[in-house]
Amino acid sequence: MNSQLIDNNQFAITTPLFYVNALPHVGSAYPTIAADVLARFQRLRGKPVLFVTGTDEHGQKIQRAAEAAGCPPQEHCDRVVAEFKSLWQLLEIQCDRFIRTTDPRHEAIVKEFFQRVWDQGDIYLGQQTGWYCVACEEFKEERELLEQHRCPIHPNTEAEWRDERNYFFRLSNYQSKLEQLYADQPEFIQPESRRNEVISFVSQGLQDFSISRVNVDWGIPVPSDPSHTLYVWFDALLGYVTALLEPGEKPTLENALARWWPINLHLIGKDILRFHAVYWPAMLMSAGLPLPGQVFGHGHLTKDGQKMGKSTGNTLDPFELVQQYGPDAVRYYFLKEIEFGRDGDFNQTRFVNILNADLANDLGNLLNRTLKMVHKYCDGQMPAPPKDWSDNPLVALGYDLGDRVTHSYERLAFSEACEVILTLVRSGNKYIDEQAPWSLYKQGQQEAVGHILYTVLEAVRLAAYLLAPIIPTVSTSIYRQLGFSIDFNQQSEIHQLAPFNAHARWGCLPEGQVLGDPQPVFQRLEL
């Protein structure tokens, strides 16, 4: 049904629109790094890419956070948004659109979408009673709550009892259609564990959900009844659509959906899976719009094996982390060390040890020592490659590496991609030790020395290219020392680079290319 509408010759990806009740934390940086890596990878492949992130700025939680800070809600939002943008810049995150749900254009999109759903007969006025978690901005069923009606996600605060007239969306009308979607498109929700969660939830029977609130001033008024404010999730999900508008374009659904819709991938945390995998597709069906290609729910992060939180004092400041260790180190650790889709842990000792082992020792040292030998034995120019690659262990590993890494990136298996790339790098260190070109040079075997050094440097180049979406600054340094004038952080330069199929395959280094001076590409970290 829907998969035929996805344009695989372009790539549009979104992170969650982050709630601005508090400053950005490492949990919001995590999916944004992953989305940036996927966007960079698709740009390397030559695809047109749209990478959307942004902030969700309406609702009671924001209103209360602003009151606690003693400032108007808009001022509070502006201050927090500036912190998000600052962190993304520190992490070398290159989003194409940053959408804010307080953008005036967004209200026009929301109202037009609401009207479509209203005309479909899927909105009605009813009575809402139940326990409401303000932190989740969600009504909770009794079976979901802990003792004293505490939310399992926010156990420090009790849910509030609500009994009020709200507008409802007829989610129950879409039970069979959603079940059909999940059956027809098993890739729609990933990973498999998240898909199973959603199917189990839906099979228990879907209830209509309220899409308006009373006594909440901070939000978009319900078009047909301004005494109600639209529920923050009905409003926020449509930020993905508003973000697709070109600058200065009239805010209509037709304009917003013309170029990039449907989105290829929504990347979200598992705690908001239900909104994206149940509510959102049902709302889109009601409005008669195509569905996104995939919703991927990643896991949660802990620190030293414990849940992070201010109340426990177990926190991890992403600003401090990046400023101390650099963006590439942070990007690499979270994607290499944690299987994306599962919960993962940050431990500083492990962080330092992994970065030193993989980037300083294995990759950086291999380039440095080999480059020094090329300057010493080959006048600083790339030697000729061997005419016969057969029986070469590095070529055997590197020959189809680009295809294997591509498959890993496409499945969001970042740790798997890193591991297969590092296997080539470690084999490069073993190969050069076994071949001992310094001994061959003393024996006058110049051609054999050149072949060995070419082979090792080509392995380093291939590894750097395939790791460039994750560690763009390190990869740039490697490529420049290998004689290429490229900056993987400059999108315009990426487009000028030779096609992906050339650089992602073995044998791209040109004979005779003048190489740069060997410099450490990654400084060893200290605890």
More confident call, 17 vs 22 = 17
Q: Where in the chain is the domain with CATH 1.10.730.10?
A: 346-503
- Chain centre to alpha carbon of residue 121: 36
Amino acid at position 76, single letter: H
Task: Look at 15-24, 249-258, 463-472 and tell me which has the smallest mean pLDDT.
Answer: 15-24
Q: Please report where in the chains the tokens 């926020």 appear, as a residue.
A: 236
More confident call, 498 vs 262 = 262
Number of C-beta neighbours around residue 495 at 10 A? 10
> What is the pLDDT averaged over residues 364-370?
97
Query: In the prediction, which pLDDT does 310 show?
Result: 66
Query: For residue 167, what are the β-bridge partners?
Result: 125
CB contact at 8 A, 376 and 369: no
Burial 278-297 (b: 16+ CB within 10 A, else e): bbbbbbbbbbebbbbbbbbb
Three-class SS state of 140: strand
Nearest-angstrom CA–CA distance, 233 and 219: 11
Question: The whole model's pTM is what?
Answer: 0.94
Q: Please report where in the chains the tokens 């980037």 appear, as a residue.
A: 359
> What is the pLDDT averaged over residues 502-525?
94
Instruction: State the SS3 of 437-499.
Output: HHHHHHCCCHHHHHHHHHHHHHHHHHHHHHHCCCCHHHHHHHHHHCCCCCCCCCHHHHHHCCC
CA quadruple 348, 477, 34, 219: dihedral sign:
positive
Q: Please report where in the chains the tokens 């590092």 appear, as a residue.
A: 422
Burial 30-66 (b: 16+ CB within 10 A, else e): bbbbbbbbbbbbbbbeebebbbbbbbbbbbbbbbebb
Nearest-angstrom CA–CA distance, 82 and 144: 35
User: Tens of pLDDT along 435-445?
Assistant: 999 999 999 99
Query: In the prediction, which pLDDT does 498 show?
Result: 67
Query: In the prediction, which pLDDT does 508 show?
Result: 92
Query: In the prediction, which pLDDT does 248 show?
Result: 92
| Greatest mean pLDDT among 5-9, 135-139, 506-510 | 506-510
Assigned token pair, 276: 């994206």
CB contact at 8 A, 453 and 378: yes
Nearest-angstrom CA–CA distance, 476 and 441: 30
Query: Percentage of the chain surpassing pLDDT 90?
Result: 82
> What is the pLDDT averaged over residues 111-115?
98
Three-class SS state of 312: coil
Alpha helices in 225-325 (DSSP H): 232-237, 239-242, 253-257, 273-274, 280-286, 318-325
CB contact at 8 A, 95 and 51: yes
Query: In the prediction, which pLDDT does 60 show?
Result: 85
Query: For residue 209, what are the β-bridge partners?
Result: 169
Nearest-angstrom CA–CA distance, 345 and 334: 9
> What is the pLDDT averaged over residues 181-199?
97
Nearest CA to 517 out of 359, 360, 361, 376 is that of 376
Amino acid at position 209, single letter: F
Assigned token pair, 312: 């426990």
What's the topology of domain 3-298?
Rossmann fold (3.40.50)
Query: In the prediction, which pLDDT does 308 show?
Result: 81
- Average pLDDT, rounded, for the chain: 93
CA quadruple 170, 61, 97, 326: dihedral sign:
negative
Q: Where in the chain is the domain with CATH 3.40.50.620?
A: 3-298
Nearest-angstrom CA–CA distance, 7 and 261: 9
Backbone φ, ψ for residue 154 (5° rounding): -125, 70
Nearest-angstrom CA–CA distance, 200 and 260: 32
Nearest CA to 45 out of 473, 490, 502 is that of 502
Assigned token pair, 155: 């156990």
> What is the pLDDT averaged over residues 105-120?
98
Query: In the prediction, which pLDDT does 1 show?
Result: 39
Query: In the prediction, which pLDDT does 3 show?
Result: 44
Residues 6 or more apart whose Cβ sits within 8 Å of residue 250: none
More confident call, 448 vs 149 = 448
How many residues are there in the chain? 527
Q: Does domain 346-503 have CATH number 3.20.20.210?
A: no
Nearest-angstrom CA–CA distance, 442 and 408: 43
HSE toward the beta carbon, residue 524, CA cutoff 13 A: 6
Residue 4 confidence (pLDDT) above 60: no
- pLDDT band at 311; cut points 50, 70, 90: low
Three-class SS state of 148: helix
Residues 6 or more apart whose Cβ sits within 8 Å of residue 5: 262, 290
Assigned token pair, 58: 């309406």
Residue 64 confidence (pLDDT) above 80: yes
What is the DSSP code (8-state) at residue 326?
-
